[in-house]
């Protein structure tokens, strides 16, 4: 499938039923379009099975609650909708996007209690998020925007509004010939990339930022568990910018990114080393098991 995302053949599940792809529309005065009252999940289906789909659905419900609304479907109904979309489009390997938002209704200001909550599931076939960087290592810029203080945002939610600075940072990175950007947090610690968590290797041990102001990704948690099962030491801690010079390997994790090696961040370079290659291959085997 190719072409603009609003002009494709296929089916999307929307508010309880499958609709034609081009008919999956919302009104101009949808609250989420004006005030970012939207949460979503990105998931991948491998060989007909969505990897950790139920965990994603639970997080989606929690994200909505953090934004002060309730998704009007159970976990079981959300899971059924995902597989209905995959079946309707004939896909066994695809990216799945579940999204919930405050729609158009009686309210059109900051408050929106009287507006209906909408829910939809779309999916599409998607290759490597970073293209050939999956093999040779991604090149990252260092973003000027920082992940905010958790006292200012619901940082545990996967919410649309929290990605505004990510979009700007990724655009700036792409303009410099980079695949993505690494962000610091409000305190100046290393945080994450624009849509993926980050890991480093030094002297055979793993270091990854403590997720106390950004999303603790499901793929991140999975990879940490795998590393520990391999007998590797994993340090979840605050990482200072000057430490980048001493790290030997680096990779990103995320549903879209999967496990993608990083070859460069700003002026710092990293090898696509044995630990990075091994965890990437092990993750591929796990999700396709």
Topology adopted by domain 11-124: D-amino Acid Aminotransferase; Chain A, domain 1 (3.30.470)
Q: 43: alpha, beta or left, given left = phi > 0 and alpha = psi -120 to 50?
A: beta
DSSP codes, 6-22: TS-SSEEEETTEEEEGG
pTM: 0.95
Cα gap 142→140, rounded to integer Å: 7
Angle subtended at Cα 176 by Cα 170 and Cα 178, rounded to the nearest 5 degrees: 60
Cα gap 59→43, rounded to integer Å: 12
E-only strand ranges, the chain:
11-14, 17-20, 38-46, 49-50, 94-102, 117-124, 138-142, 180-184, 190-193, 197-202, 205-209, 234-237, 249-254, 258-265, 268-269
158 is a catalytic site residue: yes
Q: Going residue by residue through the chain (289 aa), what tens digit of pLDDT does each one get?
A: 578 999 999 999 999 999 999 999 999 999 999 999 999 999 999 999 999 999 999 999 999 999 999 999 999 999 999 999 999 999 999 999 999 999 999 999 999 999 999 999 999 998 887 877 777 899 999 999 999 999 999 999 999 999 999 999 999 999 999 999 999 999 999 999 999 999 999 999 999 999 999 999 999 999 999 999 999 999 999 999 999 999 999 999 999 999 999 999 999 999 999 999 999 999 999 999 9
Q: Dump pLDDT digits (tens) for 79-109.
A: 999 999 999 999 999 999 999 999 999 999 9
Q: Dump pLDDT digits (tens) for 244-286.
A: 999 999 999 999 999 999 999 999 999 999 999 999 999 999 9
DSSP SS3 for 146: coil
In the chain, ranges of CATH 3.30.470.10 domains? 11-124
CATH number of 133-287: 3.20.10.10
* CB-based contacts of 125, cutoff 8 Å, min separation 6: 1, 91, 93, 94, 95
Q: Of 52, 61, 82, 158, which is the active-site residue? A: 158
* Residue linked to tokens 């990114």: 257
* Residue linked to tokens 């630990």: 275
Cα gap 211→167, rounded to integer Å: 20
Cα gap 163→155, rounded to integer Å: 11
In the chain, ranges of CATH 3.20.10.10 domains? 133-287
């Amino acid at each position: 499938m190719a072409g603009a995302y609003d002009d494709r053949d296929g089916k999307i599940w929307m508010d309880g039923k499958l609709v034609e792809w081009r008919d999956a529309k919302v009104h101009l005065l949808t609250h989420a379009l004006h005030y970012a009252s939207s949460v979503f999940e990105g998931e991948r289906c491998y060989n007909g099975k969505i990897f950790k789909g139920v965990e994603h659905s639970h997080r989606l419900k929690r994200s909505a609650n953090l934004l002060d609304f309730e998704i009007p479907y159970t976990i079981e109904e959300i899971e059924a909708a995902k597989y209905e979309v995959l079946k309707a489009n004939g896909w066994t390997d695809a990216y799945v996007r579940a999204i919930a938002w405050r729609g158009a209704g009686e309210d059109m200001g900051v408050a929106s209690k009287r507006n209906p909550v909408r829910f939809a599931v779309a999916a599409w076939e998607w290759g490597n998020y970073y293209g050939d960087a999956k093999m040779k290592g991604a090149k990252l810029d260092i973003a000027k925007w920082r992940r905010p203080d958790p006292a200012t945002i619901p940082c545990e939610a996967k919410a649309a509004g929290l990605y505004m600075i990510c979009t700007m940072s990724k655009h700036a990175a792409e303009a410099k010939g980079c695949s993505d950007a690494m962000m610091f947090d409000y305190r100046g610690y290393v945080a994450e990339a624009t849509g993926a968590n980050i890991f480093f290797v030094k002297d055979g041990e793993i270091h990854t930022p403590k997720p106390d102001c950004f999303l603790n990704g499901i793929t991140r948690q999975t990879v940490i568990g795998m590393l520990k099962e391999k007998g590797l030491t994993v340090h979840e801690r605050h990482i200072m910018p000057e430490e980048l010079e001493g790290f030997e390997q680096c990779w990103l994790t995320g549903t879209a990114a999967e496990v993608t090696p990083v070859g460069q961040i700003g002026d710092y370079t990293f090898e696509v080393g044995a630990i990075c290659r091994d965890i990437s291959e092990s993750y591929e085997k796990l999700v396709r098991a």
